[in-house]
Amino acid sequence: MHKATIDVETRGRGLYDLTRDLSREIRHSGVSDGLALVFVRHTSASLVIQENADPQVQVDLLDFFERLVPENDPHYTHRSEGPDDMPAHIRTALTSSSEVIPVGDGRLALGTWQALYLFEHRRAPHRRRIDLRVMGE
């Protein structure tokens, strides 16, 4: 069992690619076949596995979530932490706080077009802590 944390300094809303950091930790783990758990210790940032080829996919994904869960929706009652906080919680619930990815032959077994991203939902810069576990044999 290999245990690690990754700290990411975000610069506002967007997707931050974690694939390289996670691949490095899998090499460090010495695990050949098993699984990697990735967990975000926050409620206004989440994880998403998405296409890594055309950067317009990320633009459209962000835009979709901004329209689906708008800021300044008059229904929100939780406003004390700013107009982007409640949308951040809802967008986190609609995506994932954790992802579990297979490890095979000592490597992260993502598909060719997949990357793992931290999805930052807040406008201001944040330090985000991501917890890892790599298990197997």
Q: Where do contacts with a copy of itself occur on this chain (CB under 8 A)?
A: 1, 3, 33-35, 37, 39-43, 48-51, 54, 56-57, 59-61, 63-64, 67-69, 75-78, 80, 86, 89-90, 92-102, 104, 109-114, 129, 131-133, 135-137
Structure tokens at 75: 């229904």
Residue 35 or residue 123: which is nearer to a copy of itself going by CB? Answer: 35
Angstrom CA distances, 7 to 25, 50, 65, 121, stand at: 13, 20, 24, 16
| Inter-residue long-range contacts of 52-61, CB under 8 Å, 24+ positions, other chains counted | 52/17, 52/19, 52/113, 52/114, 52/115, 53/113, 58/14, 58/15, 58/117, 61/15
In angstroms, give the least distance from the CB of 24 to a copy of itself.
18
Q: Provide, rounded to whole angstroms, the least separation between the CB of residue 119 and a copy of itself.
A: 8
CB of 43 to a copy of itself, least distance (A): 4
- Rounded to a whole number of angstroms, the minimum distance from the CB of residue 58 to a copy of itself is 9
Nearest CB to a copy of itself, comparing residues 4 and 27: 4
Query: Nearer Cβ to a copy of itself, position 8 or 110?
Result: 110
